[in-house]
Amino acid sequence: APPVLAIIGRPNVGKSTLVNRITRSREAVVEDVPGVTRDRVSYDAEWNGTDFTIVDTGGWEKDARGIHRRVADQAELAVDEADAVVFVVDGTVGATAVDEAVVRMLRRKKKPVFLVANKVDSEAQMIEVHALWNLGLGRPYPVSAVHGTGTGDVLDAAVEAM
Ligand code: GDP
Ligand code: MG
């Protein structure tokens, strides 16, 4: 089977937009595990001649009480089955408490993680991106999933790691 790249992060950071950009809106491959289909969706993808499976996560409810747990659980399932992980944060907001909880989980998993600072639509927004080095996940990759900029650099690195 091709290697698996999981896309995780808080709701609304642009995970699905990024996945659509990478797959150019190919059909989703329906998961065969009942109960997880709505939360994790796999797509066939290809980058520079390497085929891989990309898994979009999301669909959890924004329950204020349980959001930390829900985000972490969902991300964890996807990460457990992945060969590499793209962790998406909102590059215009910076790291939140929920993002930091995801980082703690990722540390335990010891898988290759690539940090994407999404929504960096202009050069002026690069200022926030630099602060993301503090998450301890290595270099943040500035991306605009909407404009399609920056995705090549992170895919080069992720495909190499898988
Ligand atoms: P998800 O919940 O993480 O899957 O996020 P979505 O992909 O559904 O995107 C959430 C919102 O962010 C949508 O309104 C997107 O259009 C917007 N968005 C996604 N990527 C970008 C980006 O690169 N720049 C900007 N400005 N907005 C974006
Ligand atoms: Mg989504």
CATH number of 4-161: 3.40.50.300
Domain boundaries, the chain: 4-161
Q: Which of 17, 57, 89, 149 to mutate to test the pocket of ligand 1 (most atoms within 8 A of CB)?
A: 17
Strands 113-118 and 84-90: parallel
Q: Which of 19, 17, 75 is CA-nearest to residue 52? A: 19
Q: Which ligand is in closest contact with the Cα of 39?
A: 2
Q: Which tokens go with 145?
A: 């999933």
Report pTM.
0.90
Residue ranges around ligand 1 (CB below 6 Å): 9, 11-17, 58, 118-119, 121, 144-146
Tens of pLDDT, residue by residue over 14-35, are 998 899 899 975 555 544 444 4
Residues with Cβ within 8 Å of 17's Cβ and at least 6 positions away in sequence, in order, are: 118, 145, 146
Higher-pLDDT residue of 139 and 60 is: 139
Tens of pLDDT, residue by residue over 91-121, are 999 999 889 988 998 999 999 999 999 999 9
Compute how many other C-beta atoms are within 10 angstroms of the C-beta atom of residue 19. Answer: 26
Residue 94's pLDDT is 93
